[in-house]
Amino acid sequence: METNLKTALVTGGARGIGRAIAMALAQDGFNLAIHYRSSQQEASQTADDIIATGGTATTFQADLNDPEQIIALIKEVNERCGAVHTLVCNAGIMHSQLLSFTKFEDWRSVMSANLDAAFLLTKALSRPMARQRGGRIIYISSDAALMGDLMRCAYSASKAGLLGLARTAARELAASGITVNSITPGIIETDMTAEIPATRRVKQIAAIPMGRFGKPEEVAGIVRFLASEQAAWITGQTISIDGGLCMR
Ligand code: NAP
C-alpha cells in the first residue's frame, strides 16, 4: 500500500489491549500493520473499523513462537506498508502454574512468545529505523515484572526480561533517534483476565488504590504518547499504568 503516513506495527493487534493500541495510533494518523496469530476475524474487524474512520490498516498473520514466521512477517510488512516507524510488542501469553510444577516446555513457550519475539523484532526493525534516523519501540510488559506474581514464574520473568532488553536497546539506539520504552500495566479488562473468579477479583480490586481494573484504552493512551513527537526525549523508561497497585 503506497502511503506517506508513518507505519506502526502492533503485534497481537486484533483484540484486547492490542486492538485498543491499533485504534489509538490510527487516530493519530499512523498507517497500521495489524499482526495476529489466530484471531483473523477480529484482526479484519479492527482493520475495517480503522478504515471506516478514514485510517489505513493492513492485517498480517504470524505465530511469534516461530522465528522464521517473524522474519516472514517483517518482510511482508516492509513490502506492503513500507518501513516501520513504530513497533509495539504487545502480543503475549500467560501460563499459570506453581514454579515447582512448571514444565520447561511451558517456560520456553512463554519466553519465546513474550521475550524472544520482542528481541527478534527489535533486532530486525531497528536497523531500517536507524537508516530513517528515528523510530519508536514500545514493549507491553506487566506489573508482574516488578512485583512477581503467584503461579506466573515464566510470565513474570519474560516480562522482566523485556525491561532489561528495553534499557539496553534504548542505550544502543539513542544515537539513531530511536526511543525504546516499556509499559507495565496492572490488571486490565481483557480476555486474558476475564476468567478471574469473582472472589479473587474482589480481593484484587481491594488492593488497587484506584479501586478498579484498567481499560485497554488507558494502556493505549500511554502508547499513543510514547509514539508521539512529544515523547521524543523519553527513552529507556518503564511506565506503570495500574491504578496505583505498584508504586515505586
Ligand atoms: P489477550 O486478550 O489474551 O491477547 C493476547 C494477544 O497476544 C492476542 O492478540 C494473541 O493473538 C497474541 N498472541 C499470543 N500468543 C501469540 C503468538 N505465539 N504469536 C502471535 N501472537 C500471539 O491479552 P491482553 O490482555 O490484550 O494482553 C496484551 C498484552 O498486555 C500481553 O503482552 C499481556 O501480557 C500484557 N498485559 C496484560 C494485562 C492484563 O491484565 N490484561 C496486564 C499486564 C500486561 P491471537 O488472538 O491472534 O492468537
How far apart CA 183 and CA 53 sit, in angstroms, is: 27
Average pLDDT, the chain: 97
Please say whether the beta carbons of 58 and 47 come within 8 A: yes
Tell me what pLDDT residue 3 has.
Answer: 64
Fold of 7-241: Rossmann fold (3.40.50)
Instruction: Name, in order, each residue with C-beta under 8 angstroms of 216's C-beta and a sequence gap of 6 or more.
Output: 16, 17, 19, 20, 21, 188, 189, 190
Q: What is the mean pLDDT of each run of 10 residues along the chain (248 residues)?
A: 82 98 98 98 98 98 98 98 98 97 98 98 97 97 97 98 98 98 97 90 96 98 98 98 95
Pocket of ligand 1 (CB under 6 A): 12, 14-18, 36-39, 63-65, 90-93, 113, 140, 142, 185, 187-188, 190-193
pTM of the predicted model as reported, rounded to 2 decimal places: 0.98
Place of cell 477480529: 42
Tell me what pLDDT residue 219 has.
Answer: 98
Report the SS3 class of residue 17. helix
